[in-house]
Structure formats: C-alpha cells, structure tokens
Copies of this chain bind each other. A is one copy, B any other.
C-alpha cells in the first residue's frame, strides 16, 4: 500500500520522504474517503490477474472492508514493540522512513489516528516479530497461510 502512496506523491510532484508520504496519505483519505489507498491498490491488483495476492500496509478497518468487498481476506497482524519497529526501520533505511525516534512516534500517532489499532485488534491472525529472524517469521507466515488454505478448502 506504501507503493501506491509513493506513486501518488510522485504524481503530485512531491519527494517521497516521510513527511510527504504522511501528508499524501491524509490528503487521499480526505479527498476520496477512508479506504482511498485500498481502492488504488485494488486497481493495481485487478491488472495482475492473480488468484492470490499479499497486501502489506493496512492502516484501518475501512481499508480491510474495501478489500473484503472484492475478495476473501485473511487479516494478519505482524506485531512488534515500538522500539523493535524503530530498529527494523533504521536497518531498512528506506527514503520515506522516519529519521528520528520523535518522527517515528509522530508517525505512530498519525497511523493510530486513522485506526491501525482497531485493525490490529480485530485481525484474524497475529504473528509476533519481536524476536523472530526473517526466516522464522517467513515460516510462521507460511504456516498461517497454509492453515487458512486448508480451512478454505474444507
């Protein structure tokens, strides 16, 4: 979902840094409603002609509902403490990641404001990324998806 926001920032002639992508996210919601980012994602997904799609970056239940109107959705929350998430962001070092812990807390506040906490609280599955290695996390997610596939087939 971040890709869609970064593309939209570019389209508006803005640098895709933390401040601008945050602003574009808020603008999109204001202009096109709570599920604006999900709707843009759904356009991209329709072009993929894929049977199964992984969407990363859900921020609200309105977005989840937009996806649920078009497909069967398994909502997975990948959780870690604020400190751990900040460390992971620093490791990743993407252009629009917050640079300081203060900017990071500000981003958290913005995302809690649009309702990410509700989406996490009502997730179908939760996987902790507090102590996992990337390999371990991938294995856990694979297990979650496999269990879901079996359940859907049953």
**In the assembled complex, A126 has its CB within 8 A of some CB on chain B:** yes
- The A interface is mostly helix, strand or loop, or mixed, namely mixed
Number of interface residues of A (CB under 8 A): 24
Query: Top 7 A-B pairs ranked by shortest CB distance?
Result: A117-B117, A79-B126, A117-B121, A117-B118, A126-B128, A81-B124, A120-B121
Docked-complex contact B81 and A125, CB < 8 angstroms = yes
Task: Show the binding face of A for B, using Cβ within 8 Å.
Answer: 77, 79-82, 108, 112, 115-128, 130-131, 147
Chain B residues with CB under 8 Å of A126's CB are 77, 79-80, 126, 128, 130
Nearest chain B residue, comparing its CB with the CB of A119:
B117
Whole-angstrom CA separation of A68 from B112 in the bound complex: 21
